[in-house]
Structure 1
Amino acid sequence: MTLLELVDVTASYGSVQVLEGVSLSVPDGGAVGILGANGAGKTTTLRAITGVVRTGGSIRFDGREISGMRPDQVAALGIAHVPEGRGTLGQLSVRDNLRVGSYLRKDRKAIAEDIDYCLDLFPQLKDRIGSHAAALSGGEQQMLAVGRAFMARPRLLLLDEASLGLAPSTARNVYDAIGRLRRESGIAMLVVEQNANLAFSLVESATVLETGRNVLTGTSAELKGMDEIRRAYLGG
């Protein structure tokens, strides 16, 4: 079953058009990557889905057209976004950041259980539960951003450059935890990532964007086997 489908999606910032016609789909419970150079339109694709940029074309979630919806309406349908730069609330504690993620929920017992799950998923946060988010390391802030998005119990998680600015070992730990989260929760994921090796460890398929258009789409195995993908994204 297709959970998310984009067909010929365009998007612009004022008079500047960034997406020229992007099409992709994410199966329910599946994970799909978006690769591309800086300026290719990867982040804008996620922003188009969440309703923060003006779009054309069709964006359907669970069979429902969502283009034109406000960001809060999109979130209420079950789409959570971990933006580039993490977006944690610096003056709130780790625990309160996680609680903010559950603001649409009423099930207090389940919320408490999910906070415990996040702390098990990211044990580095357990000792920092009362610390302000601004005091965390970059890796800890990324873990918190993912945990906060999970607290909404979404059906689809949008991840934008989760490895950005992190040491390789920290980025690997973050992706290992995200992989565990996906296996245990069944949440579908759309992953923007410049580190293709990390992306391919998580997703089954990916699309490559260039100047706002799809130029390649295939399974992770197919794309890893292409010379142009290895040269551009895998260092080979």
Structure 2
Amino acid sequence: MTLLELDGVTAFYGPVRVLDGVSLSVPEGGAVGILGANGAGKTTTLRAIVGTVRAGGVIRYDGKDIRGLRPEKAAALGIAHVPEGRGTLTDLTVRENLRIGAYLRKDRKAIASDMEYCLDLFPQLQDRVRSNGSALSGGEQQMLAIARAFMSKPRLLLLDEASLGLAPGTAKVVYEAIRRLRVESGIAMLVVEQNANLAFTLVDSATVLETGRNVLAGSTAELKGMDEIRRAYLGG
């Protein structure tokens, strides 16, 4: 079953067209990557889905047209967005950040259970649970942003450059936790990532954008076997 479908999506920043007919789909429980150079339109694609940029074309979630829906409405439907730059609430503690992630929920026991799950998923946060977000390292802030998104119990998680600015070892730890989260929760994921080696450890398929357009798409195995993908993204 298709959970998210984009068909011919366009978006502008002022007079500048950033997306020019982007199409992709994410199945229920699946993980799809978006690859591309800086300025290709990857982040804008995620923003179009959650309504933080004006978009044209078709954006359908769970069979419903959500194009133009406000971000809080998208969140209420079960779409969680971890933006580039993480968006950690630095004046609040780790525990308070996690509670805010669950602000739409009423099931207190389940919220408490999910909070413990997040601290098990990211044990680094367990030791910092009373620390303000401003005291966390970049890697810890990324972990907190992902955990906070999970606390909303989404059906679809949008991840924007989860490895950005992280040391290779920290990025690997973050992606290992994301893979575990996917397996154990069944959440569908749409993953923007410049580090294709990391992305390919998580996603089943991917699409490549250039200047706001789809130029390649296929399964992870197919893309890894393409010379142009190896040269551009895999260091081969």
* TM-score, normalised via structure 2 length: 1.00
CA distance in structure 2 between the partners assigned to 1:183 and 1:77 by the alignment: 21
CA distance in structure 2 between the partners assigned to 1:167 and 1:71 by the alignment: 31
1:183-194 maps to which residues of 2 (within 5 A)?
Answer: 183-194=183-194
Q: Which residue identity lines up with residue 178 of structure 2 in the other structure?
A: I
1:83-112 per-residue CA deviation (whole Å, 9 max, x = no partner) reads 000000000000000000000000011000
How far is 1:68 from its partner? 1.3
Q: Which residue identity lines up with residue 46 of structure 1 in the other structure?
A: L
**What does residue 52 of structure 2 align with?**
52
- Pair 1:223-2:223 in alignment: yes
Q: Please give the secondary structure, in 2, of the residue aligned with 1:163.
A: coil
**What does residue 209 of structure 2 align with?**
209
Gaps of 5+ in 1: none
Extract structure 1 runs of 4+ deviating beyond 6 A: none
Q: Please give the secondary structure, in 2, of the residue aligned with 1:174.
A: helix
Q: Please give the secondary structure, in 2, of the residue aligned with 1:19.
A: strand
**Aligned residues between the structures:** 236
Percentage of identical aligned residues: 79
Pairwise CA RMSD: 0.4
1:67-96 per-residue CA deviation (whole Å, 9 max, x = no partner) reads 011111111100000000000000000000
CA distance in structure 2 between the partners assigned to 1:181 and 1:188 by the alignment: 10
**What does residue 88 of structure 2 align with?**
88
How far is 1:48 from its partner? 0.2
Gaps of 5+ in 2: none
Q: Please give the secondary structure, in 2, of the residue aligned with 1:12.
A: strand
* TM-score, normalised via structure 1 length: 1.00
CA distance in structure 1 between the partners assigned to 2:148 and 2:68 by the alignment: 25
CA distance in structure 2 between the partners assigned to 1:17 and 1:108 by the alignment: 45
How far is 1:210 from its partner? 0.3
CA distance in structure 1 between the partners assigned to 2:189 and 2:43 by the alignment: 14
**What does residue 5 of structure 2 align with?**
5
1:104-138 per-residue CA deviation (whole Å, 9 max, x = no partner) reads 00001100000000000000000100000110000
1:1-236 maps to which residues of 2 (within 5 A)?
Answer: 1-236=1-236
